[in-house]
C-alpha cells in the first residue's frame, strides 16, 4: 500500500543519491587538494542552517557522443538561497566531482535561474567557480549557456553586488563571468584562471610556464589585477567575503549597514606623527586611514596589485566610506596605468552603491617612462578623471602633502566637483615640484649667474616659499579649509553628515563612454 | 566576354605571416601587429636579483658585498619621483654583489643588488 511514508522514503533516497555528486572517491580527491566539498563550501559561507537548495534533480539533456545514458547529479552545479549576516543572498557553486564541473546547457540554466532570482529580488549574487570549462559534447549549447550568464552579469552590474569565488580551475570563456562581476576572490594553490593554458602557450610560442605561474592566485592578485582578495585557505576566503558583505549594501537602492555602536580610532595611530614633513620621506598612508576610521578597522581591496594606490572600506560614525589614497610607501605613490584602473573601478563601485568616497592625496604625478606612455597611460589615467567626475555620491578630499600637476586635478579636485576639499598645512599644491619648476622658470637667471648652483638653490627656495603650500589654492577657494591633521576625522564626519542627502543632476543620456 | 573570378585575391604588396593557434591545428595566413612582433618572451623572475621598479637614482648604499642581512634590513635608498624609497631585504641572506654606486641614474628594471638566501 502506498502511503506518505514510502513517498518520503523515495524522496530521501533520491536526495541522498544526488547529493553524493560524483561519488565518494571523487570527493576524497578534491579534499586531498585542500578543497572543501561543494555543499560544505556553501554551508561554511552562509549563516548556519540557512541554505535552501533548488533544482537538485535537474538532468542534463545531451544526446550525442555517448552522453545519452549518463547520469550527472544536479548537472554539476548546486544552486540556492540562504543568508549572510541574516540577510538573503543567492548562490551557485560548481561541483568539480560531476563531469569536472563542466558547463552544459542545463548546468547553465540552473546558474541563470539564480541570477534572474538575485536580480529580481535585489539581493547579492555569489558564484563559486570550479569547472573544467565548456562541456564539449554539448557543443554550441554550452557556449550559449556562457553567453546567457555573461549577459545577465552585465544587466545586474551596478544593481546588485556580484561576487565571484574561484575555487578551482576557471579557464577559457568561463573566466569572463568573474571578470564582469564586482569582486573576485582567489585562494593559494586552488584558484587557476587563464584564457589559454600552459600547453597551448608552449606549443604556439615555445614558452614554458606552470599553471600557477600563468594564472595562479598570486598572479591574479599581484600582477594582473583580475582578483580583488587573496586567501591562503578556503575558510579564510569565506571570512573575507563575509567581511566585504558587512561593508556594502544589498542593492543600489539601499545604504550600507549602519553600525550603531560608535568606535573611536585606536590611540596608537597618532595622526600627527605619521606623515613626515619632508616630502621626500615615505610612510604608509593606510596608517592615516586607520587614524580616522571607526576602531581603526580598514578593509583593503586589491592590497597587492598596484599598491601605489590604496583602495578599501572603513566606517566613519558607523557608515561605510570608500577610501582612495596615494601610497608614498610604494613607487612614491605615482599614478600609472594599473593604479589608475584600480582607483577608477573602485570609485565606480562606490558610486553605484551609494558609498561616500574619501580621497587622501599625496602624489608626485604620473610615472614617466616610455613603457607607460606606450602602454596608454593617457587612456588609463583618464579613467580616474571620468570616474570621479561622474560620481554623485558625497566626495571628500584631504590633501596631505604633494598635489602636483595632472595628479592634483585627477585626485578628486574641486574642479571635478568634489564636495569638500581640505588640506593639511604640509600640503604643496602646484603644477610641479619646486626643483623642476625653478629650473624651467628661472633657466636664464640660473645659467647666466656667476654661481649657477647657488642661484638655483635660491630660486628653488623662492618657488617653495611662494607655491609649495596650500594657501595659493586656499586664496582661490579651490580648497575649503586648511585643517590641522588632528581635526581630520572631525572634518570628514561633518562633511559626510552634511552631504547625506546630496542631490545633483546630470544631463540625460543613455550612458557615457568611459575611456575603456 | 571575359571571365571574372569572385574568389578574393591576396594583395601581393602585403607581407603575410603565419599564426598557428594549436600545435595540431590550422595555420592562419595573416599579418602581425607591431606590438605583437615586438613582444618579449616571459622570463621567470629571479628572486635573488633586486631590480629597480621605477626610474631613479641611487642615493645611499647601506650594505657591503659579502655582508649578511636580515629580512627587512635597509639595503639601498633609491630616489625616484621626489621620494627617498627604502629598498629592504626581501629575506635573510648574504649580499653577493652591488653593481651600482651612489649617484647612478638607473632606468626601470635595472639590476641594483644580488642577494643569496641564508640556508
Q: Encode pLDDT of A253-267 as tens digits.
A: 999 988 888 799 999
Orientation of helix A234-247 relative to helix A38-45, angle to 10°:
40
Q: Where are the alpha helices (DSSP H) in A81-230?
A: 105-121, 140-156, 176-180, 198-205, 211-215, 217-219
Residues A426-454 have pLDDT tens digits of 999 998 888 888 889 899 999 899 998 99
Inspect the interface and report whether the beta carbons of A364 and B84 lie closer than 8 Å. no
Cα distance between residue A209 and residue A216, in whole Å:
11
**Average pLDDT of the segment spanning A11-23:** 94
CB-CB: which of B21, B42, B108 is closest to A207?
B42
CB-CB: which of B23, B42, B84 is closest to A280?
B84
Mean pLDDT of chain A: 94
Closest approach of A282 to chain B, Cα-based (Å): 7
In chain A, which among 329-388 make CB contacts under 8 A with chain B?
A: 331-334, 364-365, 367-369, 371
Handedness of CA A502, A507, A509, A514 (dihedral sign): negative
Q: Does B54 touch chain A (CB under 8 A)?
A: yes
The 3 state secondary structure assigned to A375-398 is CCHHHHHHHHHHHHHHCCCCEEEE
Q: Is the ipTM of this structure higher than 0.85?
A: no
The total domain count for chain B is 1
Residue B112 contacts residue B100 (beta carbons within 8 Å): yes
Residues B67-112 have pLDDT tens digits of 999 999 999 999 998 889 999 999 999 999 999 999 999 988 899 9
The 3 state secondary structure assigned to A232-249 is CCHHHHHHHHHHHHHHCC
Q: Print the domain residue range for B62.
A: 49-117
In chain A, which among 480-499 make CB contacts under 8 A with chain B?
A: none
CB-CB: which of A207, A364, A369 is closest to B82?
A364
**Pairing of the two strands A87-94 and A125-131:** parallel
Write down the residue that cell numbers 618572451 correspond to. Answer: B41
Write down the residue that cell numbers 600563468 correspond to. Answer: A214
Inspect the interface and report whether the beta carbons of B55 and A279 lie closer than 8 Å. no
**Pairing of the two strands B17-20 and B27-30:** antiparallel
Residue of A423, A344, A349 lying closest to A389 (CA atoms)? A344
CB-CB: which of A203, A209, A280 is closest to B82?
A280
pLDDT recorded at residue A10: 95
Inspect the interface and report whether the beta carbons of B41 and A205 lie closer than 8 Å. yes
pLDDT recorded at residue A5: 93
CB pairs under 8 A between A and B: 55
User: Residue B29: inside a domain, yes or no?
Assistant: no
Distances (CA, A) of A269 to A184, A232, A287, A293, A492: 31, 28, 7, 11, 17
Residues A319-351 have pLDDT tens digits of 999 999 999 999 989 999 999 999 999 999 999
Q: Does A407 touch chain B (CB under 8 A)?
A: no
pLDDT recorded at residue B59: 94
Distances (CA, A) of A190 to A78, A172, A177, A193, A324: 19, 17, 18, 10, 30
Q: Does B34 touch chain A (CB under 8 A)?
A: no
pLDDT band for A390, please (50, 70, 90 cuts): very high
pLDDT band for B33, please (50, 70, 90 cuts): confident
pLDDT recorded at residue B4: 56
Inspect the interface and report whether the beta carbons of B42 and A209 lie closer than 8 Å. yes
pLDDT recorded at residue B24: 64
Write down the residue that cell numbers 619632508 correspond to. Answer: A278
**Assigned C-alpha cell, A277:** 614633513
pLDDT recorded at residue A439: 87
- What CATH number should be reported for the domain holding residue B72? 2.40.50.100
Residue B5 has pLDDT above 60, yes or no: no
Residue range A271-432+468-498, CATH number: 3.90.226.10
For residue A334, list chain B residues with Cβ-Cβ distance below 8 A. Answer: 54, 81
**Average pLDDT of the segment spanning A194-213:** 86
pLDDT band for B2, please (50, 70, 90 cuts): low
Domain ranges in chain A?
Answer: 4-247, 271-432+468-498, 434-467
Helix (H, G, I), strand (E, B) or coil at A309: strand
What percentage of chain B has pLDDT greater than the value 90? Answer: 52
Range of A34-48, A126-140, A362-376, B43-57 with top mean pLDDT: A34-48
Residue A165 contacts residue A127 (beta carbons within 8 Å): yes
Mutate one of B32, B37, B81, B105 to test the A interface: name it (highest A CB count within 10 A): B81
User: Residue B54: inside a domain, yes or no?
Assistant: yes
Cα distance between residue B58 and residue A252, in whole Å:
50
CATH of region A4-247, choose from 3.40.640.10, 3.30.1360.30, 3.90.226.10, 3.40.50.9100: 3.90.226.10
Residue of A78, A169, A174 lying closest to A126 (CA atoms)? A78
Equal fold, A4-247 vs A271-432+468-498: yes
Write down the residue that cell numbers 597611460 correspond to. Answer: A377
Mutate one of B32, B42, B83, B105 to test the A interface: name it (highest A CB count within 10 A): B83
Q: Does A4 touch chain B (CB under 8 A)?
A: no
pLDDT recorded at residue A247: 97
In chain B, which among 93-112 make CB contacts under 8 A with chain A?
A: 108
Write down the residue that cell numbers 616571459 correspond to. Answer: B42
Q: CA geometry: angle at A251 spanning A295 and A294, to 5°?
A: 5
For residue A367, list chain B residues with Cβ-Cβ distance below 8 A. Answer: 54, 81
Inspect the interface and report whether the beta carbons of A364 and B23 lie closer than 8 Å. no
pLDDT recorded at residue A119: 98
**Assigned C-alpha cell, A16:** 541522498
User: Residue B85: inside a domain, yes or no?
Assistant: yes
Amino acid at each position: 500500500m502506498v502511503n506518505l511514508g514510502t513517498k518520503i522514503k523515495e524522496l530521501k533516497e533520491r536526495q541522498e543519491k544526488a547529493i553524493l555528486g560524483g561519488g565518494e572517491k571523487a570527493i576524497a580527491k578534491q579534499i586531498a587538494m585542500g578543497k572543501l566539498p561543494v555543499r560544505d563550501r556553501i554551508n561554511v559561507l552562509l549563516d548556519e542552517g540557512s541554505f535552501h537548495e533548488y533544482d537538485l534533480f535537474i538532468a542534463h539533456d545531451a544526446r550525442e557522443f555517448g552522453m545519452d545514458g549518463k547520469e550527472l547529479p544536479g548537472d554539476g552545479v548546486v544552486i540556492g538561497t540562504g543568508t549572510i549576516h541574516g540577510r538573503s543572498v543567492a548562490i551557485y557553486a560548481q561541483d568539480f566531482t560531476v563531469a569536472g564541473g563542466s558547463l552544459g546547457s542545463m548546468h547553465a540554466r540552473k546558474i541563470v535561474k539564480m541570477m534572474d532570482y538575485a536580480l529580481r529580488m535585489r539581493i547579492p549574487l555569489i558564484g563559486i567557480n570550479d569547472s573544467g570549462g565548456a562541456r564539449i559534447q554539448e557543443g554550441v549549447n554550452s557556449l550559449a549557456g556562457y553567453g546567457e550568464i555573461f549577459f545577465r552579469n552585465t544587466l545586474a552590474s551596478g544593481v546588485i553586488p556580484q561576487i565571484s569565488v574561484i575555487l578551482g580551475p576557471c579557464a577559457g570563456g568561463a573566466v569572463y563571468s568573474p571578470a564582469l562581476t564586482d569582486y573576485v576572490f582567489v585562494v593559494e594553490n586552488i584558484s587557476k584562471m587563464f584564457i589559454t593554458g600552459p600547453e597551448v602557450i608552449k606549443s604556439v610560442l615555445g614558452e614554458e610556464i606552470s599553471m600557477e605561474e600563468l594564472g595562479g592566485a598570486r598572479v591574479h592578485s599581484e600582477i594582473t589585477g583580475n582578483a580583488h582578495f587573496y586567501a591562503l585557505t578556503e575558510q579564510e576566503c569565506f571570512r573575507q567575503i563575509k567581511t566585504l558583505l558587512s561593508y556594502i549594501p544589498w542593492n543600489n537602492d539601499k545604504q550600507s549597514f549602519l553600525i550603531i555602536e560608535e568606535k573611536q580610532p585606536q590611540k596608537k595611530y597618532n595622526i600627527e606623527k605619521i606623515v613626515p614633513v619632508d616630502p621626500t620621506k615615505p610612510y604608509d598612508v593606510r596608517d592615516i586611514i586607520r587614524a580616522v576610521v571607526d576602531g581603526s578597522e580598514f578593509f583593503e581591496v586589491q592590497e597587492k596589485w598596484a599598491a601605489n594606490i590604496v583602495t578599501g572600506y572603513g566606517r566613519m560614525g558607523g557608515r561605510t566610506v570608500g577610501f582612495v589614497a596615494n601610497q608614498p610607501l610604494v613607487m612614491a605613490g605615482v599614478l600609472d596605468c594599473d593604479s589608475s584602473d584600480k582607483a577608477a573601478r573602485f570609485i565606480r563601485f562606490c558610486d553605484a552603491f551609494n558609498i561616500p568616497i574619501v580621497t587622501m592625496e599625496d602624489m608626485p604625478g604620473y610615472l614617466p617612462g616610455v613603457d607607460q606612455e606606450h602602454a596608454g597611460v593617457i587612456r588609463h589615467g583618464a579613467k580616474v578623471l571620468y570616474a570621479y567626475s561622474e560620481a554623485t555620491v558625497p566626495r571628500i578630499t584631504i590633501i596631505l602633502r604633494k598635489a602636483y600637476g595632472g595628479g592634483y586635478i585627477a585626485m578628486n579636485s574641486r574642479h571635478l566637483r568634489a564636495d569638500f576639499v581640505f588640506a593639511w598645512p604640509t600640503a604643496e599644491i602646484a603644477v610641479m615640484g619646486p626643483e623642476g619648476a625653478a629650473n624651467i622658470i628661472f633657466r636664464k637667471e640660473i645659467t647666466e649667474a656667476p654661481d649657477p648652483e647657488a642661484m638655483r638653490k635660491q630660486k628653488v627656495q623662492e618657488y617653495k616659499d611662494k607655491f609649495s603650500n596650500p594657501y595659493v589654492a586656499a586664496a582661490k577657494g579651490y580648497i575649503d579649509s586648511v585643517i590641522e591633521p588632528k581635526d581630520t576625522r572631525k572634518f570628514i564626519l561633518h562633511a559626510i553628515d552634511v552631504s547625506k542627502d546630496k542631490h545633483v543632476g546630470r544631463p540625460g543620456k543613455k550612458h557615457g563612454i568611459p575611456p575603456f | 566576354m571575359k571571365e571574372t573570378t569572385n574568389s578574393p585575391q591576396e594583395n601581393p604588396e602585403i607581407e603575410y605571416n603565419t599564426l598557428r593557434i594549436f600545435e595540431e591545428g590550422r595555420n592562419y595566413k595573416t599579418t602581425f601587429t607591431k606590438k605583437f612582433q615586438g613582444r618579449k618572451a616571459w622570463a621567470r623572475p629571479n628572486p635573488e636579483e633586486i631590480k629597480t621598479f621605477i626610474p631613479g637614482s641611487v642615493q645611499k648604499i647601506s650594505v657591503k658585498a659579502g655582508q649578511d642581512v636580515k629580512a627587512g634590513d635597509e639595503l639601498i635608498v633609491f630616489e625616484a619621483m621626489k621620494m627617498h624609497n627604502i629598498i629592504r631585504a626581501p629575506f635573510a641572506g648574504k649580499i653577493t654583489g652591488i653593481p651600482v654606486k651612489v649617484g647612478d641614474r638607473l632606468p626601470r628594471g635595472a639590476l641594483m643588488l644580488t642577494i643569496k638566501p641564508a640556508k
